[in-house]
Structure 1
Amino acid sequence: MAPQQYRKPPQAPPKFTATPSSLIEDTHKLIDRSRGVQDTIVRDITSESASFANVILPMARDDNKMAIESHIIGFYQAVSTDKQLRDASTEAEKLLDDFGIESSMREDVFNLVDAAFKKNEILDPESRRLLEKDHKGYIRNGLGVPAGPKRDRFKEIKKRLSEISIVFQKNLNEENGGLWFAPEELDGVPEDVVALLEKGTGDKSGKVKLTFKYPDLFPTLKYATNAKTRQRVFVENENKCNENVPLFREAIILRDEAARILGYKNHAEFKIEDKMAKTPKTVDDFLGDLRTRLAPGGEKEIQQLLSLKKEDLKSRGEEQSDDGRYYLWDHRYYDRMMLERDYSLDQQKIAEYFPLQTTVRGMLQIFEELFGLVFIEIIGKDRDEIADTRKGSDIVWHDDVQVFSVWDDESEGSGFVGYLYLDLFPREGKYGHAANFNLQPGYVDEHGNRRYPATALVCNFSKPTPKKPSLLKHDEVVTLFHELGHGIHDLVSRTIYSRFHGTSTVRDFVEAPSQMLENWCWTPSQLKSLSHHYSYLTPEYEAAYKETAGTSEVPEERIPDELINNLIKTKHVNDALFNLRQLHFGIFDMTVHEPQSHEEIENMKVSETYNKLRKEISKLDGPEVLGDAEDWTWGNGQATFGHLIAGYDANYFGYLSSQVFSTDMFYTVFKADPMNGKEGRRYRHTVLERGGSQDEMKTLVDFLGREPRTDAFYKELGLSR
C-alpha cells in the first residue's frame, strides 16, 4: 500500500482500453478538431490583426491536447498483442501523419504565422522560440516553394515518406522469423537460453527455434562454439526484413529529391541545418577525425583477437579451419572470450547479481537520491482506486507492465511529477529493441495549470524461469539505465508547450543526458548498491542456485569487489572496434544522405555500400571474402536499421557527437562525486527541465559554466593528443 501522501495523484493515468474501431474514430475526431482550430483562425484573423496570441497560441494549445491522445494511439502498434489493434494503430498514425503534412503546408495559415512573426512582439523566451520554430517549419515543409507542380510534388513525397516509415517499422516489429537448430549446433549457448526456445515437432522434431529477438540472438553470437552456427545466425539476422530493402532505397531517393526541391544540396544539408552541428561539413569532419584516431586501435585489437581465435581453434583441434581472418560473426564470441580469459570477467556470474526487478529498484533509488524524486509502484487495489473506471487493468496495456506514480521528495516540494511505465519482456508483435516512448507530454494549459507527463520504457530482457529470475548482463544494465535516463528526462521536464517537452530536443543533443547517466553503471559504489544476488530473493531461487552450482553455500549478497574491479577494467577493452561500428552507422547514414547529385543516389547500390563501408571502417570480414569473387550483396543490414527511417536520418552522428557533451558534463561535474545530490538537482533543473525550450548550447553553457569541450571525450577513449 502506498504512503497516504502518494495515494491519489492529481491527474489520473491514461487508459489503454482502445479497440481497433475506437482508435480510428478517435483519430478522426482529433483531426476534425484540429482542422477546425486552423479554419477558425483563418476565418477570424487577418494579416493586420495577426499576433502570437491569436494565431500561434491557439494552435499550440491544440497541439498540446492532440498529443495527449495521439501518442498513445500510435503506441499500440509497438506493444499490443492484438494484431488488429496494431494494424488500426498503424492506420491511425498514417491518418495523423497525412493530416500533419496537410497542416504544415496550409498557405493560408502560414500567411498569418508569417504576419505574426514579422510583428516582432515582445514574448517570453519559450514563446519566442515556438514562434521562430513554427515559422521556419512551414518554410522547411515547402511553403517557401512557389505554389504549383514543385510544391505538389513535395507534398506527395512527404506523404509517401510517412507511409514508408510506418510500414518499415511495422515490418520490424512484427518480424517473427528464426532458424531451427539441433541442440549440438548450439553448444556453448547458456542452458537457460536454450531451455526457453520453441521445441520442434514433426519434421522439426528434436530441434529448437532460435529467433532474432535480442534474448536469443546475442547469447548465441557470444557463446555458440560452432562458427558455422554463428555465421548462419549473423547473416540471416542481416536479412530478416528484406521486404524493407526497396522501402529504404525509395526513402533515401525521395528525401534527396525533396531536399533539392527546397533548394538544399542534399537531405543531410536540410536535416543538419537546425541541429547543433549546423552543417554536413562539421559532421563529416568530426566523424573523419574520429575514424582517423580510432583506426590504429581497431587494427591492434583485431590482431589481439585473431591471436585468441588461433589459440581457441588449436585447443579444440580445429586448426584446419583457421584461415587467418576475423569475421563479423567472430567478434561477440572472441570479445567475450577475451574478457573472460584476460580479465577474469564471467558475464554469467556477474548477471547473477543483477536480477531485473532489484536492479530496477536500485536504479530508481539512485534517481531518487540524485534528483529528489519518489517512485511509488501502483499495484493491487491502488490500481483500481487510481483508475477512474475502478478497473486497474485499464491503466496498463499488458499484464507484464509495471506502472509507477512519480513525485518530488520533500526537499523538492512533494508535488506530483508524472507516470512511469516499464514493459520489459519480449512478446510477439512487440517493438524489438529498447526505447523510451512518451505517452503524454507535460505542458501548461490555458488556465495556467500543469498537465503531467506519462512515459514508458519498452525493452526486451529475458523472461524469468522457475529456477532463475530475469538476470541482466552488465551491458543490459547499462541499456536499462540509459533508457531510464530518457524516461527521467521526459518526467522532470517543465515546459510551457508540449512541443518542447522532455526529449524533444535536437537529435545531436538528445542522447547526451542518458549517455551521461551510463557512467553510474561503471562506478564501483553504484554497482555495489545495485547488485543483489538472485539466490537471496526467494527460498526457491536459493535451492535452485545451490542445485545448479553444486554447492551448499550461497555467494555474497552484494557483488564482490573483485568482480567489480574486473568489470571496471574492461570498460574500454576493444573500445576502438565498438566505436568504429558506431562510425560505420554514422558514415553510412551521411553517405546515403549526402550525394553529390540526385543521379548518384538513384544509382547507388545501397546494400553493397552498407557492407563495403562496414569492411572499410571496421576491418572485419564478412561473407564477401568466402567465394571465388567478392560478393557485397550477401546482406541487407540497412533494412533492419530502424533509426534511419524513424527520425535519425542524417542524424545518427548524434550518438557520437552527444557523447562529447555527456562526457564533458560527467567529468566536469559528477566524476569526483557521482551521488552529489546538490549537483544532481542542479542538473535536473538546469538541463533536464528545459527540454527543448531553449537553444541546447545555452543549456550546456548554463550547466558547465563555459562552452563544451572535446578533451574529456578523447581522454575517455584513450585518444588524447
Structure 2
Amino acid sequence: MQKPPQAPPLFNGTATSIVADARALIENMRKVQDQLVQAVRPDHATFANVIQPLANAENALHAQSHILGFYTDVSPDPKLRDASAEAQRLFNDFAIESVMREELFLLVDAALGKQEDLEVESKQLLIKQHKEYLRNGLKLAAGPTRARFAEIQKRLSMLCLEFRKNQSKEAGGFWATPQQLDGISNEIISDLEKGTGENEGKLRLTFEFHHLIPAQMFAKDGETRKRCTLGYENKCNENIPIFKEVMLLRDEAARLLGYPNHASFRIEEKMAKTPETVNTFLEDLRLRLASGGQKELQNLIQLKRADFESRNEPFDGRFFLWDLPFYKQIMLEQQFSIDQQKIAEYFPLQTSIDGMLEIFQHLFGLAFVEIDGDKRNDLAESGNGGELVWHEDVQLFAVWDDAKEGGGFLGYLYLDLFPRDGKYGTPANFNLQPGFCRADGTRHYPSTALVCSFTKPTAETPSLLRHDELVTLFHELGHGIHDLVSKTLYARFHGTMTVIDFGEAPSQMLENWCWTPSTLKSLSRHYSSLSPRYLETWKAKSNGGEPVPPVQIPDEVINKLIRTRHVNGALFQLRVLQFSIFDMMVHEPTSPEALERMNMSVEYNKLRKDLMKIDGPEVLGEGYEWGHGEGNFGHVMGDYDAGYYGYLYSQVFADDIFHTVFQADPMNAQEGRRYRYGILEKGGSQDEMKTVMDFLGRQPSPDAFYRELDLVEPPA
C-alpha cells in the first residue's frame, strides 16, 4: 500500500480532552480575530489581509471540530457522547459570538467595498461572510434588540443539541411473543433481545430502523404493527416542548431581523429564494399526486379486504398507517411476484459494498484501498491502529485517483454500518474533515463517514440488504464520494456543503443505478455461494426442497423488481410532502400568536391524514393528538429547517441530470468523469444553479421528474 501524504485522524478523545480541545480551537480562532481587529484599519482592509486570514483559521478549526462533535453520534461511551455534545455547544456559541463582532464586520464590510477582482470561490466567500454578519444580528442597532437576538441564538443552539441528544439516547421498544412476531425473518428475530423473568419466552422489538421497518413490512399480526407505529411516533415525546420553543424562538429572531417569518429568512439563501416559490412547487406537486394516491390507496384497501376474507374475519373498510408497509409488501408478492426477503439473499452487505466501490472506480476514476490489520498500525501516528477508528466494527479506506486520473491521494472513507447503543439511528453521511487549501498552498485532504444500522452478520448468515436498504447505502455512499472528490479552496464550501435544496441531488441521481439491470446483476451474489457454512444455513432454511440458487440474481427477478419502482409511489411522495409542508407550516406562521396557539402534534397528524387519506387512531376516538411525530423530526433541528422541501426540489435536478446524461449508458466513464469534475468537484464553491447549467448546457427542467413519477398536469 502506498503511504498517503496525510495521516488519518485519531479517535482517541476522552471526556476531558474533547472539551479541552474544543476550547483550545476556539481560543486559537478568537486570537486570530483579535489580532486582525488590532492590526488592520477598515480603510486598509482587503481580501488578502482580512478574509484570507479568517478563512485560513476557519479551515484549521473545521479540520478538527467536526470530529470532536462526531463522538456524540457514534461513541458507545455515554461520557464521550456528553462531552462531544458540550463541544458542539461551545463551537455553536463561539460561531454566534464571531458573527456578532461588529469590529470584524466593519473589516469585512470594508473589504467588500474595495470591489477587488477575485476568483469565483473567493468572491463567493467574501459575499457570504458579509451576509452572515447581517443575517446574524449586525443589521440591528446595538442595544436590547441585538442582545435579545444573541440570547435567542444561544438558546436555540442548546435546544437543538438537546433534541438530537434525546434522539440518540432513545431506547424504546416492547416485548412480544414469537407468535406476535410471525412473518419477520429469522435474521431479525435472532438479533432481538431474549426476555427473562416476567418476559421469559418473549423477544424485545426496538424502534430502531433495522428492527422497526422489517416489523412494519412483514409482521402478520396487525396489533404488533400498530404497536410499532405508535411506539415510533411517540418515542421522543420529551422533545415536544423543545420543538415548540425552537419554532417560537426562530420566528421571533426572524422578525427581529425584519423578515415576516423564519422561512423567508432561511430560503433567501437557497436555490428557491422565496417561500412563495417553495409553496407553489409543493402545492403543484400535491395536486398532481392526489388522484394517484387515492387510486393506490383503494388498491391496498382491496388487498386488505381479500386478506381478511381469506381468514374469515370481518373487515370494517378501515386502512391504517400500520397497514401501509405490510399490504404494500403483500401487493409486491401477489401482483409482481416479488419476495423482498428472497431478494435480500442476493445482496450480502460486504459484497454489495465491494460492487458499489467498483462502480465508483469505473465512473469517476477512483481507487479504494482498505486499511486494516497491521496497515493501521503503520499509518497511525501513535503506532496504535485502534485509534484510527472509533469502534472495532468500522472499516477504513484510503481513496486515490486511479492511474489515468493521476494517482493522487483524495482522502479517507469510513464505513460504520451496524447498530449499537447510543449510535445515531438514521442512515447518514458525516464529513469528519473537510478538504481545503492550506495557507502554504498544500492540500488538506477530507475524511468522510457512512453511519448506518444494518443487521449485523452472524456465523450462519451475513448481513443481507433488502433492495430499499441497497438504495439507501448507495445514496449515502454517494454523499461520501461527493466529499472525497470535491476540491475547494475553503472548508465551508467543501463537498456536500451546498445549499440544502441542491445538496441531495448528487446522491438522488446515483440511486438510479440501483434500478439498472446491469448494475443490480453486478452487485448481486447469493450468500449461499460465499462459504460452505452459509450454504448449509441456506439448505437448512429451504428444508432441502429447492435447488441451490444461482450465484447472481436472475434476470427475470431483476425485471420484476424494476417494474415495482413506483408502485405506491404517489403515497410515498405524499408522505415526503407531509414533512415538507409541515416544515413550512411551522416556520411560516401568520403571526407569533398563531404559532403559539398551534397544536403542532395535531397539525402534524391532520396533515398526514389530509394528504394520504390513511386512517390513524383518530378514527378510533383518540383525536389527532395520538402521536407526536414532530418530537422525532430531527432534520429541522439540523440544516433542514424550512428546507425539508429540498428532498423533492433537488430530485428535479437529479432526474434531469440522469435522464439527460446517464440514462442511455449509466456506466459511461467519460460522462462519469465529466460529472465528477463538473458537479461533484465544485461543492458549494459557486452558485449551484450555475453548476447545473454549466453541466447540462441549459436551464434545468422538471419534465424528467414528472415523467419519472408519471404525474399529469394538476387539475385546473
TM-score interval (norm. to shorter): over 0.9
CA distance in 1, matches of 2:700, 2:10: 42
Q: Cα deviation per residue 1:39-80 (whole Å; 9 max; x = unaligned)?
A: 000001111111111111111000100011100000000000
Q: Structure 1 residue 513 and structure 2 residue 506: aligned? A: yes
Aligned residue type for 1:586: S
Q: Cα deviation per residue 1:589-648 (whole Å; 9 max; x = unaligned)?
A: 000001111111111111001000010011111000002xx6011000010111011110
SS of the counterpart of 1:109?
A: helix
CA distance in 2, matches of 1:663, 1:15: 39
CA distance in 1, matches of 2:33, 2:143: 23
Aligned residue type for 1:332: P
Equivalent residues of 1:384, 1:391 under 8 A apart? yes
CA distance in 1, matches of 2:547, 2:387: 44
CA distance in 2, matches of 1:679, 1:393: 39
Q: Structure 1 residue 693 and structure 2 residue 688: aligned? A: no
Q: Structure 1 residue 578 and structure 2 residue 572: aligned? A: yes
Q: Structure 1 residue 405 and structure 2 residue 411: aligned? A: no
CA distance in 1, matches of 2:548, 2:384: 42
CA distance in 1, matches of 2:702, 2:88: 40
Aligned residue type for 2:93: D
Structure 2 match to 1:660? 652
Structure 1 match to 2:422? 429
Q: Structure 1 residue 600 and structure 2 residue 589: aligned? A: no
**Of 178, 184, 187, the match for 2:179:** 184
CA distance in 2, matches of 1:542, 1:202: 36
CA distance in 1, matches of 2:10, 2:386: 9
Structure 2 match to 1:314? 309
Alignment of 1:38-437 (within 5 A): 38-318=33-313, 320=314, 322-437=315-430
TM normalised by structure 2 equals 0.99
Equivalent residues of 1:624, 1:632 under 8 A apart? yes
**Of 551, 565, 570, the match for 1:557:** 551
Structure 2 match to 1:454? 447
Equivalent residues of 1:546, 1:553 under 8 A apart? no
CA distance in 2, matches of 1:172, 1:443: 32
Aligned residue type for 2:340: Q
- Unaligned stretches of 5+ residues in structure 1: none
Tell me the CA shift for residue 371 of structure 1.
0.2
SS of the counterpart of 2:42?
A: coil
Structure 1 match to 2:629? 637
SS of the counterpart of 2:369?
A: strand
Paired residues, number: 712
Equivalent residues of 2:288, 2:712 under 8 A apart? no
CA distance in 2, matches of 1:256, 1:495: 34
Tell me the CA shift for residue 20 of structure 1.
0.5
CA distance in 2, matches of 1:194, 1:350: 18
Deviates most, 179-188 or 420-429 = 179-188
Aligned residue type for 2:594: E
Structure 1 match to 2:563? 569
Q: Cα deviation per residue 1:330-362 (whole Å; 9 max; x = unaligned)?
A: 000000110010000000110000000000000
Equivalent residues of 1:383, 1:391 under 8 A apart? yes
Tell me the CA shift for residue 430 of structure 1.
0.2
**Of 488, 493, 504, the match for 1:500:** 493
TM normalised by structure 1 equals 0.98
CA distance in 1, matches of 2:562, 2:60: 46
**Of 427, 435, 439, the match for 2:432:** 439
**Of 697, 715, 719, the match for 2:707:** 715
Structure 1 match to 2:532? 539
Identical-pair percentage: 60
CA distance in 2, matches of 1:188, 1:557: 26
Tell me the CA shift for residue 196 of structure 1.
1.4
Aligned residue type for 2:453: N
Q: Cα deviation per residue 1:566-608 (whole Å; 9 max; x = unaligned)?
A: 1000001000000000000000000000111111111111100
Tell me the CA shift for residue 720 of structure 1.
4.4
SS of the counterpart of 2:62?
A: helix
CA distance in 2, matches of 1:153, 1:602: 19
Q: Structure 1 residue 527 and structure 2 residue 505: aligned? A: no
SS of the counterpart of 2:80?
A: helix
Structure 1 match to 2:480? 487
Aligned residue type for 1:659: Q
CA distance in 1, matches of 2:511, 2:102: 45
CA distance in 2, matches of 1:465, 1:315: 37
What RMSD in Å do the two structures reach over aligned CA positions? 0.8
Tell me the CA shift for residue 553 of structure 1.
4.1
CA distance in 1, matches of 2:169, 2:612: 30
Aligned residue type for 1:515: Q
Aligned residue type for 1:421: Y
Equivalent residues of 1:711, 1:720 under 8 A apart? no
Aligned residue type for 2:609: K
Aligned residue type for 1:155: A
Equivalent residues of 1:408, 1:415 under 8 A apart? yes
Tell me the CA shift for residue 191 of structure 1.
2.0
Q: Structure 1 residue 651 and structure 2 residue 643: aligned? A: yes
CA distance in 2, matches of 1:424, 1:366: 20
Equivalent residues of 2:656, 2:705 under 8 A apart? yes
CA distance in 2, matches of 1:183, 1:531: 31
Q: Cα deviation per residue 1:187-246 (whole Å; 9 max; x = unaligned)?
A: 212222112111111111121111101111011111111111111110111000100000
CA distance in 2, matches of 1:415, 1:195: 45
Q: Structure 1 residue 622 and structure 2 residue 616: aligned? A: yes
Q: Structure 1 residue 702 and structure 2 residue 680: aligned? A: no
Aligned residue type for 1:419: Y
Q: Cα deviation per residue 1:137-179 (whole Å; 9 max; x = unaligned)?
A: 1000010011111111110110011001111111111111111
CA distance in 2, matches of 1:130, 1:529: 43
SS of the counterpart of 2:574?
A: helix
Q: Cα deviation per residue 1:92-143 (whole Å; 9 max; x = unaligned)?
A: 1101111111011111111111111111111111100000000001000010
CA distance in 1, matches of 2:644, 2:397: 32
SS of the counterpart of 2:180?
A: helix
Aligned residue type for 2:459: P
CA distance in 2, matches of 1:21, 1:479: 36
Tell me the CA shift for residue 317 of structure 1.
2.2
Tell me the CA shift for residue 471 of structure 1.
0.1
CA distance in 1, matches of 2:594, 2:117: 47
Aligned residue type for 1:14: P
Tell me the CA shift for residue 651 of structure 1.
0.3
Deviates most, 591-600 or 550-559 = 550-559
